[in-house]
A and B are shown apart, each in its own frame.
Chain A
Amino acid sequence: MADLRDLYQEVILDHHKKPRNFHKLEHANRQADGYNPLCGDKLSVFIQIENGIVKDIGFVGAGCAISTASASMMTESLKGKTEAEARAVFDRFHQLVTDHSEPKPDPATMGKLAVFSGVREYPVRVKCATLAWHTMRAALDGSNETVATE
């Protein structure tokens, strides 16, 4: 079952069971909803931006282990980042879970998020891993439309 553990790493299972920042934000000034019609995953991301910095970020919703853990770890990784930095992390994360080119993006630059590198081998699960991220970016963009990853 070693290869399954590449996808379902302990850190991912832990964030799935105990998602961090799993709540609405009272003072959010950015918000967006995401929906993956393939598996029914739904989540909302709330961001409080102050002086161009992600002061606080939270999410609510229901989804699979990959999407919940990804959302949870995203909130941890983005707190304190500037808006531009958050967008840059989005790009790197997206590349991490989708890029099949060699050499692979260096997981070391991803910090804890590197645990999602196994997702690359499961094309149908990429949308689970990126749902929260697309939703976060839509929130930054101020988009009112529900983000759908299918």
Chain B
Amino acid sequence: MTMIADKTQAFYDAQKMREDFPIFRQLVNGKPLVYLDNAATTQKPQPVLDALTRFYTKECANIHRGVHFLSERATASYETSREKVRHFINAASVQEIVFLRGTTEAINLVAQTYGKTHVGAGDEVLISAMEHHSNIVPWQMLCDEKDARLRIVPITLTGEFVFEQYKKLLGPRTRLVAVTSVSNSLGTINPIREIVRLAHEHNVPVLVDGAQAIQHMPVDVQALDCDFFAFSGHKMYGPTGIGVLYGKERLLEAMPPYQGGGDMIISVTFEKTLYNRLPYKFEAGTPNVAGGIGLGVAIDYLESIGMGRITMNEQDLIAYGTRLLEAIEDLRIIGTAKNKASVLSFVLDGIHPHDIGTILDKEGIAIRTGHHCAQPVMEFFKIPATARASLGLYNTREDIEALLAGIRKVKEVFR
């Protein structure tokens, strides 16, 4: 991997990047792997795998505890990763970077701490109709407990956030807005900056579900001015079981702890416990040390390519894929927003997505079929499920062409 500055128009060689990902060195059902399920999880490049092996082989120790050599080194690596995350999303301070299991835990944390202390009976939490279950259920649980109301910003038939309705729904009882940056089932990119600006006019904080954004576009939390931003390591070429909650320091400071245990305290007596400073207040117990270190290496890898260039390549593939799929008779693309990232969701007349998935799998093509943990979206479009191809940095036009050929085969089987 050579360092290439973001602004260069250097040739983007996805085929070459594939060589960094050992998973592509195998055949699936006797065919080269065409991996188009990146919204579910991304594959891991060699440097990330090496970092995990190195940690467990040579550096394994608990952190923030021992005075011994290994513990100090592990602590330093883990905290270096935190700084890498801070830099990657341009947070103001590492104190604003909380390491957790993933996006789901991050959202639950905010619901159970900020939510519990700020949402009361008759108050409202505002989400959109295109949310993943993980940005619906934690709020539903909170609203049930507090006798508060969950309100939904509708989407259009193209899968876009209805801003006019959002304006109307934001009111004196709104305590929090929680919205996805990129829809996992439709690919829609939401106008987060405008959503945040309007919420702030009402003094309402905004949580952004960044699980499907962080790997596809540059993210600057200060420019977005969002109050919380949640994402997962495994969807950005890092390990599973590690994720991040960014929160503005002022808000995190005022929030009660999430879980109690070791590492989140300064001192404990049976009478009183003093909580640790940020971000450790929210990191009870031994964290996913290897995962955190691996995530830092994944960020190095992404920065060595440049997020801007990754965006450009994926945008080219989205446009190319949309054009090819649109030309297929009886195929309907679900989610046709003007601004989209990564996702090509579709249905075929008379052929269930599950059958599409099985036949494509035989061709070595991995896609996701189902409701994508977004059942309300499926209900809105009156379909039980979709077939979803989702892109990553190593995908090429050849992958899209393989998908097209696979869909033709599906139609042949069902003719």
Please report A residues at the B interface, Cβ cutoff 8 Å. Answer: 1, 3-5, 7-8, 13, 17, 37-42, 62-66, 122, 124-125, 128
Contacts and interface: CB of A to CB of B under 8 A. Distances in A.
B350 A40 contact: no
B104 to A, nearest CB: 18
Contacts of A3: 362
B362 A125 contact: no
B358 to A, nearest CB: 6
Given A39-B370, A40-B370, A41-B384, A4 B413 contact: yes
Nearest to A41: B384
B414 A65 contact: yes
Given A1-B409, A63-B352, A40 B385 contact: yes
B355 interface: yes
Contact of A17 (B350, B359, B371): B350
A39 B369 contact: yes
B358 A122 contact: yes
Nearest to A13: B414
A125 B369 CA distance: 12
25 contacts: A1-B413, A3-B362, A4-B359, A4-B362, A4-B413, A5-B413, A7-B358, A8-B359, A13-B414, A17-B350, A39-B353, A39-B369, A39-B385, A40-B371, A40-B384, A40-B385, A41-B352, A62-B384, A63-B352, A63-B384, A64-B352, A65-B414, A66-B355, A124-B358, A125-B354
B355 A64 contact: yes
Contacts, number: 52
B356 to A, nearest CB: 9
A5 B409 CA distance: 12
B135 to A, nearest CB: 19
Interface of B: 350-355, 358-359, 362, 369-371, 378, 384-385, 409, 413-414
Nearest to B369: A39
A66 B350 CA distance: 13
B388 to A, nearest CB: 13
A119 B87 CA distance: 50
A39 B352 contact: yes
A8 B409 CA distance: 12
Contacts of B362: 1, 3-4
Interface centre among B352, B359, B385 (most CB of A within 10 A): B352
Contacts of A1: 362, 409, 413
A64 B354 contact: yes
Given A5-B413, A17-B350, A64-B352, 16 more contacts: A3-B362, A4-B362, A8-B359, A8-B413, A13-B413, A39-B354, A39-B369, A62-B384, A63-B384, A64-B354, A64-B355, A65-B352, A65-B414, A122-B358, A124-B358, A125-B358
A149 to B, nearest CB: 13
B361 to A, nearest CB: 9
